Amino acid sequence: MLAIADNFFAQFALPVGFEIHPGKLNARYRKLQAEVHPDRFAAAGEAQRLQAIQLSSHLNEAYETLKSPLRRAGYLLRLRGIDVEQVAQSDLAPELLFEQMELRESLADLPEDESAFDQLHELNRKAANRLAERQGQFVQAFAGNRLEEARKLFHELQFLHKFQMEIHKKEESLESVADF
């Protein structure tokens, strides 16, 4: 039976790095999951069934982590011994804090009807552009072994990702109002 590798990249036979080929990740995941799926071991002994469940769970976690750019960035930093859970106010540039306030105010000031959709799409476009820019900066910092800079960029990525989620939540809220 398949063994758990040292890290998620090794589990899928991918090079350790931010840039990954999604098709290779997906294909490798499907192949490995087919090998260890618990249904294949329904008639096996309890130890093998338990091992299949653990491996399947591990593959799911590894896949979800590598599939998500944000989770992948955090995982890469953790592989290098960087604690990404603790965020100090000094980790965030004053410009970022100001940008956060402006963006959140823009979102809060939107009308609660269909007329907000165009503005929401524009906010989402801006956030997506900033996210792509920061991801590029993260890749360069990480590749250049500037781990403190990469950690700070990771926290910016977290904010932008969360902001996009808030935009989507607002869109869903407005869509449900518009349906009535």
Q: What is the pLDDT of residues 79-121, one digit of tens each?
A: 999 999 887 767 777 887 888 888 889 888 888 888 888 888 9
State the residue for tokens 């098709």: 23
Q: What percent of the chain has pLDDT over 70?
A: 96
Domains and CATH numbers, the chain: 8-67 (1.10.287.110), 89-178 (1.20.1280.20)
Answer for the pair 82, 147: CB distance below 8 angstroms, yes or no: yes
The total number of residues shown for the chain amounts to 180
pLDDT for 23: 95
Report residue 19's pLDDT band, with 50, 70 and 90 as the boundaries: very high
pLDDT at 142: 97
Cα–Cα dist 47/53, whole Å: 10
Q: Tell me the HSE value of 170 on the side-chain side, using a 13 A CA sphere.
A: 25
Determine the Cα–Cα distance for residues 138 and 152; give it in Å rounded to an integer: 9
Average pLDDT over residues 49-63: 91
Mean pLDDT of the chain: 89
pTM of the model: 0.86
